[in-house]
Chains A and B, each alone.
Chain A
Amino acid sequence: MKNQRFEFFVGLFMALGILCLAFLSIRIARNELFAANGYEVEAVFTNCNGLRNGSAIMIAGVEIGRVKEITLQDYEARVILKLQPDVALQKDAIASIRTKGLIGEKYIEITPGAADQIIPHGGTLHGTEPAMDLEGLISKFVQGNLSTNPAPNK
């Protein structure tokens, strides 16, 4: 009898452990098992280097959503943003891909606009700024740039 009780507690302990493990792995993978409500907006970037599913979307440093999906469309990156239902985005809001710190992870920063129209669920955010291509800019700088050359417009 005593043995049975002991086994019951061991089983309970194991079950609890497995539950904790499941909870942790869902949290780490940022999987939305219990689909968080919110709405989706599409944005197309020419380059989304470093952005991943689950990357943060912020306004003024406050997280307002996460990247749901990144796919290739017409050789450009089509990113689906999942946003909190209480945050409205104007038609002329701009989404830029930024880096946390100097070499940190990428996130999307949104600067709100002033248009009257609000982007609905399934709508498109037209104003986008791609991830900064630092290597490309450096190579251009090394080769010389237009603005550093004297312009021959006499």
Chain B
Amino acid sequence: MKQIATLAALLIAFACVVRADTPLAEVKTTTEKVLLLLKDSKLQGEEKKSERRQLVRAEMEKRFAWEESARACLGRHWIKRTPAEKAEFVKIFSEFLKDTYSDKVATYYGDLDKVDYQGEKIQADYASVKLVLKTKAKIDHPLEYRMEKTSNDWKVYDVVIEGVSMVKNYRDQFDAIIAKSSYDGLIKEIKAKQPNP
């Protein structure tokens, strides 16, 4: 009886180790799930748009390191903020990202013919996963997910589309807005961009 218990414990432990997937496998799982959602016949049509979007958002939510992303996008200005301001920024900015990216994902993946997984590259706690989105119009869009290892899995902190980094793009824009107005001005502008506050 004791032996069986030990065996079971070992098996569970082994299963836990296996659960920690490679970055590529994690990206693949999320991508396939999102693609299934977008193709789901029950979720088609204009009236189901918000429901579909919510589901895509929920899948994305699990795969992203929101705080990392928000901090990286704010760049040098992050250091000057108080802990409360930092928490607020992470919240507002991740909402904004979720909205813009779930829309973008729906647009890009809706026109998709095939996803070509090019492979992964792991370097200590960092990884990059490359894919090519092949559209029905026979155009290739290279995409790269930059990921960081957290305690139990890999999370995306930057997306590079056609060689343009999302973090770098926002870092430059936020820098310009803060230089022109102020940090509060930036918060106001991000809040104004939110489609459904």
Are A133 and B163 within 8 A (Cβ)? yes
Contact of B75 among A46, A111, A129, A149 (CB under 8 A): A111
Which residues of A are found within 8 Å of B163, using beta-carbon distances? 46-47, 129-133
Are B79 and A114 within 8 A (Cβ)? yes
Stretch at the interface among A9-17, A33-41, A138-146: A138-146
Q: Mark A89-102, 1 if CB is under 8 A from B, else 0.
A: 00010101000000
Contact of A94 among B121, B144, B162, B168 (CB under 8 A): B168
A152 within 8 A of B: yes
B52-73 residues with Cβ-Cβ distance < 8 A to A are 68, 71-72
A44-88 residues with Cβ-Cβ distance < 8 A to B are 46-47, 74
Residues of B in contact (CB 8 Å), total 39
B88-131 residues with Cβ-Cβ distance < 8 A to A are 106-108, 110-111, 121, 123, 126, 128
Which residues of B are found within 8 Å of A143, using beta-carbon distances? 137, 139
In the bound complex, how far is the Cα of B162 from the Cα of A6, in angstroms?
69
B76 within 8 A of A: yes
With A146-B135, A152-B111 as contacts: A113 and B160 at CB distance below 8 Å: no
Are A127 and B106 within 8 A (Cβ)? no
Q: Mark B153-182, 1 if CB is under 8 A from A, else 0.
A: 000001010111101100110010000000
Whose C-beta in chain A lies nearest to the C-beta of B148?
A126
Q: Mark A111-135, 1 if CB is under 8 A from B, else 0.
A: 1111100000000101101111100
In the bound complex, how far is the Cα of B127 from the Cα of A124, in angstroms?
12
Classify the secondary structure of A's interface with B: loop
Which residues of A are found within 8 Å of B46, using beta-carbon distances? 154
Are B78 and A94 within 8 A (Cβ)? no
Give chain B nearest CB distance to A93 CB in angstroms: 9
A151 within 8 A of B: yes
In the bound complex, how far is the Cα of B75 from the Cα of A111, in angstroms?
8
Q: What are 16 A-B residue pairs whose CB atoms fall within 8 Å in the complex?
A: A92-B68, A94-B165, A111-B75, A111-B171, A111-B175, A114-B74, A126-B126, A127-B165, A140-B139, A143-B137, A146-B137, A146-B141, A151-B110, A151-B111, A152-B110, A153-B110
Task: Identify 14 new A-B residue pairs, CB closer than 8 A, beyond the known A129-B164, A143-B139.
Answer: A46-B163, A111-B171, A112-B76, A114-B71, A114-B75, A124-B126, A129-B168, A131-B163, A149-B111, A149-B137, A151-B110, A153-B106, A153-B107, A153-B111
